[in-house]
C-alpha cells in the first residue's frame, strides 16, 4: 500500500506505474482517492477548528450563566451561547462520522492501487514476458525415458493419490515409505541450511486473523488462495510468510534488532482454483503441502542487498542437491500488487525438457509494513521497514525436480551426499516394483 502523501505529490507517477502493470482499469482510482482525501482533510480541518472553539464557548457559557443569575437580561445571551455549543457539538459529531467513513473508503482504494515497481523490473503484460537472467548447472536430458513423477513415486510404493481422493478429494495425496522420508529429509536439510546462514528457525501459527490477511496480501490473491474457517475470523495460511510477517503487526521494532532473519516451517493450504494442464497434475499443484520459507525484515536501504542474497541461497541449496536451476526475473504484469521486485528460481525437468518454478523471491518494500502498522524506532524517529520473502523448498513439488534429476536408468534414485544424513545414510533409493 502506498503512502497517501506520495499519491498527492506524484499522481502521474502512480498512474504511469499502473500502466506499466497493464492495469488500466485502476487508473480512475487515483483521482477518486485524491478527491476523497481532499474531502477528508477538509473535514479534519473543520473538526479541529470546532474542537479549538469548544473550550472557549464552554467558558463563555459558564460566564454568561453566572452573570444571568445576577442580571436576568443576560439569560438570553447565555442560552444563545449554549445553542452554539450544541450546534458545534452536533456538527463535530457529523464531521467525525464523515472522517471515519472517508478514511474507510480511502483505505479500501489504497489497498487496490499497486505498489511502485523497481526501475529494474522488465515491462510486460504477463509471465510470457519474464526474463531469464542466469543459469546454474548444466541441464541434462538422459538417454532413457523418464516416467511421470507419480509413476516414479509409485515405483517405490511412495504415493497413493486414489486413497487421498476417496478421503479428501482431488488435490490431495498420501506419501509413503522412502518417498515420505525423502520429503521430510528435504525439509530438515533446508531448515539446517538456513540456520547455517544465520536465520532463526520458527514454527508459526497455521491460522491467522482477517486483518493479518489484509496486511500481507492483495484482495485478489486472498480470494484466489485462502481457505476461511467457517464462523470464525480465521484463515488457513497459504504460506508461512503470512503469519511470519503478521508477527510484527502493530509493533515498534528496535532498529538495533534489524535485520530480522527468520526461516519458518509450515503446512500450506491453497484453493488453487482453475483448470491446469497434464504436467500440473499429480503432486505439482495441490491444496495442501509443506514448505520451508525465509523472511527478512530490514532497513529500507538494505532490502535490495537482501533480495540478492535470498534468491542466491535458493540456487545454492538446489545445486547442492544436483538440480540445475535458472533465475527468471518477473515482469511488471506478473508482479503481485504489493511487490516491488520479484524473481522465480526454476528447476530443470529432464522429462519435460524445460524449467518450472520451485522458489519465488520477493521484495515488498514498505507495503506490508504500512498495512500492518509495523514501525522501526531509530535514533531520529520511527520509520517503516522493508519486508522480503523467499521459498527455501516446497515439497512435494520440489520432489519432482529431485526425482527426475537424480533418477538412474535402472529406476533407482541417487541421494546426494548432503541429504544422506537425513535419510539414515541411504545412498540410493531402490524401486520396489
Domains and CATH numbers, the chain: 4-110 (1.10.287.40), 127-429 (3.30.930.10)
| Local structure of 81: helix, strand or coil | helix
Q: If pLDDT is split at 50, 70 and 90, which confidence band does 89 have?
A: confident
Whether residue 70 is predicted with pLDDT greater than 60 in this model: the reply is no
Instruction: Give the per-residue pLDDT at 55.
Output: 66
Please state the rounded mean pLDDT for residues 273-296. Answer: 77
Give the pLDDT mean for 154-166: 95
Q: What pLDDT was estimated at residue 278? A: 47
Residue 396 has pLDDT above 80, yes or no: yes
Instruction: List all residues 6 or more positions away from 312 whose beta carbon is below 8 Å from its beta carbon.
Output: none
- On whether the CB atoms of residues 226 and 268 are closer than 8 A, the answer is no
CB of 150 closer than 8 Å to CB of 160: no
Top pLDDT among 49 and 189 is at 189
Per-residue pLDDT, averaged over 48-59, amounts to: 75
Q: In what order do the strands lie in the sheet with 375-378?
A: 252-254, 375-378, 381-383
Pick the range with the lowest mean pLDDT from 225-229, 362-366, 370-374, 425-429: 225-229
The answer to whether the beta carbons of residues 385 and 258 sit under 8 Å apart is yes
- Which of 211-225, 319-333, 383-397 is the least confident region? 211-225
pLDDT digits (tens, 9 = 90+) for 375-388: 999 999 999 999 99
**Out of 214-228, 356-370, 410-424, which region has the weakest mean confidence (pLDDT)?**
214-228
pLDDT of residue 62: 58
Query: Above 90 in pLDDT, residue 45?
Result: yes
**Cis-peptide into 396, omega within 30 deg:** yes
What are the tens digits of pLDDT across the range 107-145?
A: 999 999 999 999 999 999 999 999 999 999 999 999 999
SS3 177: helix
Q: Name the grid cell of 43.
A: 473535514
Give the pLDDT score at 1.
86
pLDDT the model gives residue 282? 82
Angle, helices 27-70 vs 75-110, to 10°: value is 160
Instruction: Give the residue-averaged pLDDT of 146-166.
Output: 95
Confidence band for 303, pLDDT divided at 50, 70 and 90: very high
Q: How far apart are CA 367 and CA 389, in angstroms?
A: 13
Q: What is the pLDDT of residue 273?
A: 58
- What would the mean pLDDT of 88-92 be, rounded to a whole number? 86
Q: What is the mean pLDDT of residues 1-11?
A: 95
Strand 341-349: give its sheet, edge to edge. 131-136, 325-329, 341-349, 354-363, 386-393, 288-298, 260-269, 200-202
* Gap between the Cα atoms of 5 and 41, Å rounded: 12
Q: Is the previous residue joined to 259 through a cis bond, with omega within 30 degrees of 0?
A: yes
What gap in Å lies between CA 209 and CA 75, rounded to an integer? 57
**Phi, psi (degrees; rounded to nearest 5) at 163:** -60, -40
Backbone phi, psi, residue 123, to 5°:
-95, 130
Q: What is the pLDDT of residue 69?
A: 56
Q: Which residues pair with 389 in a beta bridge?
A: 295, 362
Residue 94's SS3 state is helix
Helix, coil or strand: residue 329? strand
pLDDT in tens, 174-226: 999 999 999 999 999 999 999 999 999 999 999 999 999 999 988 777 777 89
How far, in Å, CA of 296 to CA of 363, rounded? 9
Query: 3-state DSSP call for residue 116?
Result: coil
The radius of gyration of the chain from alpha carbons, rounded to an integer in Å, stands at 28
305 by Cβ neighbours in 10 Å (0-12 / 13-18 / 19+) ranks as exposed
Q: Is the separation of the CB atoms in 176 and 157 below 8 Å?
A: yes
Kindly report which listed range (85-99, 228-242, 329-343) carries the lowest average pLDDT score.
Answer: 85-99
**pLDDT the model gives residue 53:** 78
Mean local confidence (pLDDT), 155-171: 94
pLDDT for the residue numbered 272: 76
Q: Which of the pair, 217 or 25, is modelled with greater confidence?
A: 25
Residue 275 is predicted with a pLDDT of 45
**pLDDT exceeds 90 at position 296:** yes
Order the strands of the 235-236 sheet from edge to edge.
207-208, 235-236, 227-228
What's the whole-number mean pLDDT along residues 302-314? 98
Q: What is the mean pLDDT of the chain?
A: 92
Q: How much is the pLDDT for 115?
A: 96
Amino acid at each position: 500500500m502506498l503512502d497517501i502523501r506520495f499519491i498527492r505529490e506524484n499522481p502521474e507517477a502512480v498512474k504511469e506505474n499502473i500502466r506499466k502493470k497493464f492495469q488500466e482499469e485502476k487508473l480512475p482510482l487515483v483521482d477518486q482517492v485524491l478527491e476523497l482525501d481532499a474531502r477528508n482533510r477538509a473535514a479534519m480541518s473543520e473538526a479541529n477548528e470546532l474542537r479549538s472553539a469548544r473550550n472557549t464557548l464552554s467558558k463563555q457559557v459558564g460566564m454568561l450563566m453566572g452573570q444571568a443569575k445576577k442580571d436576568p437580561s443576560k439569560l438570553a445571551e447565555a442560552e444563545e451561547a449554549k445553542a452554539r455549543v450544541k450546534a458545534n457539538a452536533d456538527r463535530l459529531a457529523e464531521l467525525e462520522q464523515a472522517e471515519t467513513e472517508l478514511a474507510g473508503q480511502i483505505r479500501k482504494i489504497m489497498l487496490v492501487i499497486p505498489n511502485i515497481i523497481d526501475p529494474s523490473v522488465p515491462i510486460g503484460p504477463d509471465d510470457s514476458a519474464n526474463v531469464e537472467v542466469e543459469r546454474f548447472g548444466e541441464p541434462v536430458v538422459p538417454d532413457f525415458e523418464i516416467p511421470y513423477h507419480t509413476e516414479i513415486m509409485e515405483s517405490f510404493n511412495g504415493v497413493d493419490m486414489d486413497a487421498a481422493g476417496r478421503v479428501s478429494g482431488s488435490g490431495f495425496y498420501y506419501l509413503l515409505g522412502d518417498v515420505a522420508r525423502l520429503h521430510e529429509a528435504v525439509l530438515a536439510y533446508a531448515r539446517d541450511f538456513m540456520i547455517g546462514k544465520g536465520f532463526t528457525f520458527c514454527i508459526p501459527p497455521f491460522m491467522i486473523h482477517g486483518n493479518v490477511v489484509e496486511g500481507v496480501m492483495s484482495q485478489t490473491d486472498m480470494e484466489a488462495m485462502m481457505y476461511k474457517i467457517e464462523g470464525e475470523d480465521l484463515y488457513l495460511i497459504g504460506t508461512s510468510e503470512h503469519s511470519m510477517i503478521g508477527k510484527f503487526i502493530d509493533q515498534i521494532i528496535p532498529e538495533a534488532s534489524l535485520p530480522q532473519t527468520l526461516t519458518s516451517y509450515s503446512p500450506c493450504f491453497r484453493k488453487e482454483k482453475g483448470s491446469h494442464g497434464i504436467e500440473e497434475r499429480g503432486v505439482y499443484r495441490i491444496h495442501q503441502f509443506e514448505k520451508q520459507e525465509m523472511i527478512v525484515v530490514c532497513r529500507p536501504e538494505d532490502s535490495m542487498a537482501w533480495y540478492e542474497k535470498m534468491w542466491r541461497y535458493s540456487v545454492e541449496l538446489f545445486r547442492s542437491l544436483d538440480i540445475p536451476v535458472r533465475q527468471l526475473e518477473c515482469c511488471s504484469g506478473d508482479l503481485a500488487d504489493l511487490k516491488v521486485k520479484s524473481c522465480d528460481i526454476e528447476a530443470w525437468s529432464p522429462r519435460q525438457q524445460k524449467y518450472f518454478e520451485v522458489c519465488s523471491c520477493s521484495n515488498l518494500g514498505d507495503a506490508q509494513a504500512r498495512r500492518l502498522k509495523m514501525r522501526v524506532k531509530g535514533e531520529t524517529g520511527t520509520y517503516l521497514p522493508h519486508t522480503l520473502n523467499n521459498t527455501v523448498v516446497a515439497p512435494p513439488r520440489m520432489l519432482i525436480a529431485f526425482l527426475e534429476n537424480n533418477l538412474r536408468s535402472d529406476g533407482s534414485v541417487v541421494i546426494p551426499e548432503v541429504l544422506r544424513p537425513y535419510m539414515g545414510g541411504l545412498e540410493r533409493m531402490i524401486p520396489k516394483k
